[in-house]
Each structure stands twice: as structure tokens, then as C-alpha cells.
Amino acid sequence: MAVIHHTTMSPGKLELLASWLPSQPWYAGNGKPPEPVKAGGFRLDDPDGEVGIEFMVVGDLSADRPVAYLVPLGYRGTPLDGADHALVGTSEHGVLGTRWIYDGTHDPVVVAQLLALLQGRAEPQAQNDTGVHDRSVVPALTPAGSGVLFGPRGDAGGVACSVTQGGDATFLHVAGTPDVTVEVRRVLRPGGEPGGEVLGHVTAGWRSPDGDEPRGPFLVLRPAQG
């Protein structure tokens, strides 16, 4: 079980994200420097206890209209080989020391637990409390999705996949039986079940700057896409 340390990080997560967000293809900036705020999210446990996993929702107060981004993050005590392109930044943690923080869509351990969440095998945890199940995060599978089997785990204890970007989403192409694509919704929008051919999805909520608490799909599992 991941332990939440209520301590300092320098630089802080939002400070790192303020520099990182404008470089992302799905960032809907208006030319102003971003003003990121935490707007919700949840955590997952790494069964091996090595990688911190957070699905953070980030609002941007500089936007012309309310916007919320989904930013999966992997926190590591040592650098992840071959993932320099996915490094959000490093930070000094008040308890754990130096942490390397990665875009979780490129972290094999984060991807493995993301798939486990979609299949109901990983329990979403509260973002800021240790050992508290976040029941507002709801995974749902279709009958076809419940039969998907994923390939072998990688050397790092995770699942390897190829990653592409498209519009407001990041797509994780994962080998399995059958092969599947996970759509990570980077720009969150309120709504019910996603359209198109769907094997499963994860729905959760977040906080908007105007005080609303919308809900919508965070992750969508689909048959393999090119």
C-alpha cells in the first residue's frame, strides 16, 4: 500500500507542470503562461512498492474558459531508463529524497496498473489519504472487455506499449489477446459513456474553477487502433 507523506516537495508538482504543460500537443494554451491548480485525481498502488502512481487532474486558471487536464504521473527514486523524453522534472521530497517524475503514459508500471484498474483488478485510492478507497472512480467493462488478456510484464514490472498522440488524447497501444488501445483523455469533458466501439472505461470526477463538480471518462479501452 502506498503511503502518502504530508511533506514538502521542491520544486512542487504544480511548479513543474507549469513548465511542462505548454510543451504537450494537447495543451490548449492561449499564449499566456499556465496557472495550474490541482482539481482532483486519485492514486494507484504499485504492487512492488517502488513507483508512486498518481492520476492528477490539473485546472488552468489562465485559460479563457474552464479547462481540466488529466496528467498521470509516475514517481521514482531512480531514473527510468530510456524515458528522458517523458521526464516532467525532478523534485526533492522531504522524506524520500530526490524523485524523478515521469509522464505516466510512458512508465511501464503506471501502464500496468492503469490496465488493472480498467479490468477491476486495482483499487483506486484517495489522492491525499493513505489506505482510503476512492469509490468515486468507477471502472466498467463490456462483456468483450472482460475477456481481454494482456501480454507478459516487462523487466521493470510493468507493461510495455507504444504511445501516440491524437487531438485531446494520448493512445496506448498494448499487445494482448486481442490487442487493445487505451485512450487517455487529456482534456476532460463532462459526459456519460464514450461513443464508438468500447471494451471498457473509467469514469471519475473533478472540480472546476466555477465550483461545479463534473464527471466524465478518464480512460477508454477500445479494440486495437492504428
49 by Cβ neighbours in 10 Å (0-12 / 13-18 / 19+) ranks as exposed
pLDDT tens track for 53-74: 999 999 999 888 889 999 999 9
Q: What is the pLDDT of residue 212?
A: 86
Domain that holds residue 104: 9-223
Whether 3 is covered by a domain: the verdict is: no
Q: What is the pLDDT of residue 226?
A: 58
* Domain count within the chain: 1
| SS3 (DSSP) at 198 | coil
Whether 75 is covered by a domain: the verdict is: yes
Whether 2 is covered by a domain: the verdict is: no
Whether 1 is covered by a domain: the verdict is: no
111 by Cβ neighbours in 10 Å (0-12 / 13-18 / 19+) ranks as buried
pTM, whole model, 2 decimals?
0.91
Contact indicator for 170, 105 with CB cutoff of 8 Å: yes
Q: Which segments of the chain have a pLDDT < 50?
A: 155-156
Whether 4 is covered by a domain: the verdict is: no
Whether 36 is covered by a domain: the verdict is: yes
Q: What is the pLDDT of residue 155?
A: 45
Whether 190 is covered by a domain: the verdict is: yes
Q: What is the pLDDT of residue 1?
A: 57
76 by Cβ neighbours in 10 Å (0-12 / 13-18 / 19+) ranks as buried
Size of the chain, expressed as the number of residues it contains: 226
Whether 122 is covered by a domain: the verdict is: yes
